Amino acid sequence: MKKKTNLCIMFGGNSTEYEVSLRSSYSVLENVDRAKYDIVKVGITRDGQMYLYDGDDEKIKGNTWKDDSANLKKALMSTSFGDHAVYAIDGEGRVERVEIDVVFPVMHGAYSEDGRLQGMLDMCGVPYVGPGCASSAVCMDKAFTKLILNNYGIPVAGCVYVNKADLKKGFKAIAEDVEALGYPVFVKPANSGSSVGVSKVNNEDELKNALEKAVKFDDKVLIEEAIVGKEVEVAVLGNEKAVALTCGEIISDADFYDYDDKYTNGTSTYNIPADIKKSTWLNLKRTAEGIFRYLDCKGLSRVDFFVCGEDEQIIFNEINTLPGFTSISLYPKMAMESGYTYSGIIDELVKLAFDAKKGE
C-alpha cells in the first residue's frame, strides 16, 4: 500500500488575522482527502506558543483548541536541515518525534505570511505551500510591492508613505502631501491583511485619527488615493508556469470592503466570474500572471485590482500570498469555478510545494 503523505496543517499565529486563520484551517481540514494524507495539526497561539494538537477540528473553528489540554502538547519545529519533524513534549517531559513531509501554513498576516515563517521552514528544508521567504516578505509589505511593480509599468494608485518617525516630526507635512493627493484616501498599515487597521478618510481631521489607528498595527503606513471602480480579484496557481484561473468581483455592502464586511456581517456578495468585458479579463490575466512572476511567487496568490470606468482600466491594489480559505473566501471559490474540487486544490498546492523544493 502506498504510504500516505504526512501533511502538516499550521494554524493560528501571533497575528491580527488569527481568527481568519482558524476559519481557513477548519475549511481545509474539512475538505482535505484523508485517504491521501495523514494530518499533523500544529497550532500557534496569539502569543506565539506552538502546540501539536490532536483534538477535534471543531475546536479550531470555535477557538477553544488551546483549552483542550488532553489533546495539546508543547511543540517545536526542528530547524536541523533535513529533519522534517515536529517535536512534541508531554506534561511529564517526554519527547515525541512526529514526521512531516510537507507543510500547508494556513496562516495570514505577521509571523505567518510575511516571510518569517517561510524562513524557518527553509531552515528545516521542508517543502511548504506558498511563496518563499523573500517573496512573502515583499508581497506582505504594500509599499515595497508598489515600488517594485512601478518599475515594471504596472498601474497602481497614487500614494504617500509614512512611518512613525514622520509622525513624530509633525502632522502638517503629511497633511500637505495628502492634500496634494486629494481626498478621499485610504489609510492602511503597510504590513497587514484582511483590511485590519484600514480607514477611509475624507478630511484632515479624519486623517489624524486614521494614522493613529494604523500605526498600532505597523510602523509603516500607506496613504492611497481612493479609486472608484469594481473590486476584482484574480486567483493565480502554479510555480514558474503559473496561470490565472479566473476572477471574482466583490460587491461590498459597506462603504468599503473592510474586515467586518469580509468576515463578520457576511452581507457582501460576489460575481464569479466578474462582470467585465472579455478583453478586460485577458488584460487582468496577463497582468496578474506577470505580477506573480515579477514578485517571484510560488504555489498560489490572489492578485487584487480595481477595474475603472467604461473603458475598464485596471489598477493594481494588492497581492495576497496566502489568501483566505474560509467557507466564504474567494480564492477557493474561484479555483472551483475553474474546475477544481476543494480537495483537488489542496492536492495541487501540495504537489506545487514538492515541485518548488525539487527545483531549488
Residues noted as catalytic: 17, 194, 263, 302, 304, 318, 320, 324
C-alpha cell at 174: 503629511
Instruction: List, as one string, the DSSP characters of 202-256.
Output: -SHHHHHHHHHHHTTT-SEEEEEEPPPSEEEEEEEEESTT-EEEEEEEEE-SSSS
Cα–Cα distance measured from residue 215 to residue 210, given in angstroms and rounded to the nearest whole number: 9
C-alpha cell at 222: 500607506
Burial category of 218 from C-beta neighbours within 10 Å (exposed 0-12, middle 13-18, buried 19 and up): buried
Handedness of CA 47, 53, 58, 61 (dihedral sign): positive
- Do the beta carbons of residue 256 and residue 210 sit within 8 Å? no
Cα–Cα distances in angstroms (integers) from residue 91 to residues 51, 60, 71, 95, 96, in the given order: 12, 21, 11, 10, 12
| DSSP code at position 68 | -
Cα–Cα distance measured from residue 216 to residue 164, given in angstroms and rounded to the nearest whole number: 10
In what side-by-side order are the strands of the sheet with 269-271?
A: 269-271, 243-251, 230-238, 299-308, 313-320
Half-sphere exposure of 61 (CA within 13 A, CB side): 11
- Do the beta carbons of residue 65 and residue 43 sit within 8 Å? yes
Q: Where are the alpha helices (DSSP H) in 252-337?
A: 259, 278-294, 330-337
Long-range contacts of 243-246 (CB under 8 A, 24+ apart): 243/289, 244/284, 244/285, 244/288, 244/289, 244/292, 244/303, 245/334, 245/335, 245/337, 245/338, 246/272, 246/273, 246/334, 246/337, 246/338
